[in-house]
Amino acid sequence: MKTQVVGISDMKVSNKPEEVLITYSLGSCLGVVIYDPVARVAGLLHSMLPLSKIDPQKAKASPFMFVDTGIPLLFKEAYNLGAEKKNIIVKAAGCSSLLDEKGFFKIGERNFTVLRKLLWKNNILIDKQDIGGNHSRTVSVSINNGRVTVKTGGKEHEL
């Protein structure tokens, strides 16, 4: 297996069955995996912040940094590789509150809210999720079968 690392404020899409997409250190950040089991296309997005309007220049330079600009691009790139909306399975992880114990900023919560709104407006549901808490996560997706794993605290489970 060949591993493609998705960095912070990054996104990767693949249709190569020998590849695995992985992202590390999802704290308050949102990790979104999409998979089309028919076309065998998967994508993984690692977004830091919910809304691009806080810094339109930064959003233009780094659209994957923001949920509202990253999600449409994730789907667009998957469609470019043959994925179809009717087949796509969506899984989400992250959005914890590691450094915000008092709940002042609620970045993770806001990231997930924006994701849900975007998907809802486009008639897409989240299949499974591992959201919230106070721990970071590592998420990976295998292109050949769409298997999504989440590692946290030294333990791994399938999502």
* The dihedral sign for the CA sequence 152, 46, 8, 23: positive
**Helix or strand holding residue 157 (H, E):** strand 155-158
Q: Tell me the residue type at 90.
A: V
Q: What single DSSP character describes residue 49?
A: B
> Distance between CA atoms of 72 and 49, rounded to whole angstroms?
15
Q: Is 95 a catalytic residue?
A: no
What are 24's two structure tokens? 């590390």
Catalytic entry in 20, 22, 29, 74:
29
Residues assigned a catalytic role:
29
